[in-house]
Chain A
Amino acid sequence: RKEVEQDPGPFNVPEGATVAFNCTYSNSASQSFFWYRQDCRKEPKLLMSVYSSGNEDGRFTAQLNRASQYISLLIRDSKLSDSATYLCVVNMRGGGADGLTFGKGTHLIIQP
């Protein structure tokens, strides 16, 4: 099993729709989780951290399911500008900034 696994997509979604994707991780001791966004030929940028109780930032909601070892990202009322690759990042060593492992990313295309 890969350490951090994502569906590469692409997810083609009409503007205004809600879209969600998951990321599974293999190390049950992992404690830090993040979603990063990467635009084409640009560097990754932090979108949001993922907290145990789940968290929301505007149209974006992140959730953690420790029992099933996955995190999710939900985007409501999607905008054209949401088109990007979304990278799941897990701290495989459990706490701290060391050992951050990136998934391959999920490619999202918002269509007008």
Chain B
Amino acid sequence: DTGVSQDPRHKITKRGQNVTFRCDPISEHNRLYWYRQTLGQGPEFLTYFQNEAQLEKSRLLSDRFSAERPKGSFSTLEIQRTEQGDSAMYLCASSPPDSSTGSPLHFGNGTRLTVT
């Protein structure tokens, strides 16, 4: 098990372009999360999948953002018409089926997006 994998590690794009990030969770984890983190802030929740179902989306997730997990394994996060304010670290995390105490998250290395 290699942990949560994210690709690419870094992405530089021009404003207005579309970008897509990929996340491969730990294989036996059915829950997958996307977070965004900017400097000096904690990770902010974006969206959550349980298997292939997208169960929750944050108000932070504008119409330009879309996430998929078509087969319940890897997930993609797409940002359309990027803006400079989208520059951040995008973190993917996964967790196993829930226990009564809550399952901790296993994070990937993140994709650092810079919009110029």
Contacts and interface: CB of A to CB of B under 8 A. Distances in A.
Interface of A: 4, 8, 31-32, 34, 42-46, 49, 51, 87, 91, 95-105
A97 B98 contact: yes
Interface residues of B, number: 26
Contact of A100 (B40, B91, B101, B105): B105
Given A32-B101, A32-B102, A43 B42 contact: no
A8 B40 CA distance: 8
B45 interface: yes
B17 interface: no
A21 to B, nearest CB: 14
Interface of B: 31, 33, 35, 40-45, 48, 55-56, 91, 95, 98, 100-110
A49 B101 contact: yes
B102 A91 contact: yes
A97 B43 contact: no
Contact of B95 (A43, A49, A97, A105): A97
A103 B43 CA distance: 8
Which of B35, B43, B91, B102 lies at the interface centre, i.e. has the most chain A CB atoms within 10 A of its CB?
A: B102
**The 10 A-B residue pairs with the shortest CB-CB distance in the complex, in nearest-first order:** A32-B102, A102-B42, A43-B107, A97-B103, A46-B104, A104-B42, A102-B43, A97-B95, A96-B98, A91-B102
